[in-house]
Amino acid sequence: MSEAEASSSLPVAASNDAAQMPPAPALAEQSFKVYKPSDDTSAAPARTLADEYFTPTAADLKAAQTQLAARTQALTNAPLKLKATREAEEKAKQDRWPTTTIRIRFTDRTQLEKTFPSTNKIRTVYAFVRELLREDVKPIKFVLYQPPKRDLKVSDPKVRDQTLVQLQLAPSSVLLLRFEDESLNMSNVPAPLIGTVLSQAIDMPKPLR
């Protein structure tokens, strides 16, 4: 009887999520942040935005350039390294950065932030985002990417089989989101997140000066 009572006290949704997609859905409701759009972009015109628009700050551009340089150097050196050496380097990175903080920015500049184990793959990030979308938007495909045009598609075997560390996303990265339905990519369209998520939105912290 005591075992039955103990079982019944466990959250049913959490156990179901664990069976289907352990990392993202099981944590979606308790370990993420939502940031409101910046005030200075509230009057942005109603238009479909070019990819270049999504490099909003010098800091974001610098981070993207640094990551691109690191990836280019890694690809250049990869054929020269023994497999064991590459594996040792990846292990060292995972030990140094056991978690990776990902911030997903919507076109209205609403942002989701969540920390994942660095051994997770990009599909875990996709699952987390989709879990928080409105029901009418969940069936619509979207792509997470880095400026200028690095798409992180789960359909790409060179992406889907890599960990967040191997994708050079650790220890933290900003990913932009582009829907297949262009009407959702307009700057005046609110992020299509469920109401309970939007109700948790807080102001972005002020940058340190």
**Above 80 in pLDDT, residue 89?**
no
Lowest-pLDDT choice from 32-36, 71-75, 97-101, 171-175: 71-75
- Summary mean pLDDT of the chain: 78
Q: Would you place residue 90 in the very low, low, confident or very high pLDDT band (cuts 50, 70, 90)?
A: confident
What φ, ψ does residue 58 adopt, rounded to 5°?
-60, -35
Which pLDDT score is estimated for 30?
57
Q: Residues with Cβ < 8 Å from 197, sequence gap 6 or more? A: 34, 112, 132
Q: Would you place residue 73 in the very low, low, confident or very high pLDDT band (cuts 50, 70, 90)?
A: confident
Which pLDDT score is estimated for 193?
98
Average pLDDT for 85-101: 80
Backbone Cα Rg of the chain: 19
2-58: pLDDT as tens digits? 444 444 444 443 334 333 444 434 434 459 999 999 764 433 344 455 555 555 566
Would you say the pTM of this structure is higher than 0.95? no
154-187: pLDDT as tens digits? 999 999 999 999 999 999 999 999 999 999 999 9
**Residues 118 and 97 sit within 8 Å (Cβ to Cβ):** yes
Which pLDDT score is estimated for 39?
60
Q: What is the DSSP string of the chain?
A: -HHHHHHHTS-HHHHHHHHH-TTTGGGTTTSEEEEPPPGGGTT--SSBPPGGGG--SHHHHHHHHHHHHHHHHHHHHGGGS-HHHHHHHHHHHHHH-SEEEEEEE-TT--EEEEEEETT-BHHHHHHHHHHTB-TTTTTS-EEEEETTTEE--TT-HHHHTSBTTTTT--SEEEEEEEESSGGGGBTTSPP-B-HHHHTT-BPPPPPP-
Which pLDDT score is estimated for 6?
44
**Residues 30 and 132 sit within 8 Å (Cβ to Cβ):** no
